[in-house]
Amino acid sequence: QITLKESGPTLVKPTQTLTLTCTFSGFSLSTSGVGVGWIRQPPGKALEWLALIYWDDDKRYSPSLKSRLTITKDTSKNQVVLTMTNMDPVDTATYYCAHRRRGYSDYWGQGTLVTVSS
Amino acid sequence: QSALTQPASVSGSPGQSITISCTGTSSDVGSYNLVSWYQQHPGKAPKLMIYEGSKRPSGVSNRFSGSKSGNTASLTISGLQAEDEADYYCCSYAGSSTFEVFGGGTKLTVL
């Protein structure tokens, strides 16, 4: 059974760096073809794809946010970490991590709401 | 503004069929057979309903089907049921630079 859970701060101040951790079970990030991605959703708005890391450490980022994002994995801990620098109130959103296959996200975490406010 | 264009809302009565469109470009939907569709109920995480354009994950009802024509992908739900009322999002691979883009979402109301 594949499960994922996001964790991190619920409130960050403008200009701060956000660090989110996705802890998963039921699969290994050393298995060929497997990845973990991050997607966010501002309140009442659409989903936005952010970043993705594959089993072979290939990393992909949203072009519009690439300069602010870093994704890493710790295979031994079954964790993927996303950092986003220079947070702004417009970054207020629910952040999801998801198990990835080529072209789709088949298992999602419950999401974590991050509010950016001073 | 989302990269893929979906109607903001669609509606149908129980038992009817509805189709949600997802219009992209020749750089995403039109070039790859990597469109996926997600269902999201209020306050819940998205759920994969269709992948690779027309494939259904195990456990997803065969009332849900996907297709593509040119730069437009479509999700069809037949035999509408009350529990189908949700937001639906399309997503497409968009090449190695952009990588992946979502649609703006469609709210389905079952009348």
- pLDDT in the model for residue B96: 84
Closest C-alpha among A7, A35, A9, A4 to residue A114: A9
Low-confidence residues in chain A, pLDDT < 50? none
What's the one-letter identity of residue B23? T
- pLDDT in the model for residue B2: 64
Give the distance from residue B86's alpha carbon to the nearest chain A alpha carbon, in angstroms. Answer: 13
Structure tokens belonging to residue A40:
């966010």
For chain A, say whether B11 makes contact (Cβ under 8 Å): no
Q: Which ranges of chain A would DSSP assign to H, the alpha helix?
A: none
Closest C-alpha among B103, B100, B92 to residue B2: B103
- pLDDT in the model for residue B97: 84
What's the one-letter identity of residue B18? I
- pLDDT in the model for residue B37: 98
Contact yes or no for A47 and B91 at CB 8 A = yes
Low-confidence residues in chain B, pLDDT < 70? 1-2
- 57-116 of A, contacting B, C-beta below 8 A: 60-63, 96, 101-106, 108-111
Give the distance from residue A43's alpha carbon to the nearest chain B alpha carbon, in angstroms. Answer: 10
What's the one-letter identity of residue A48? E
Residues of B within 8 A of A109 (CB-CB) are: 45
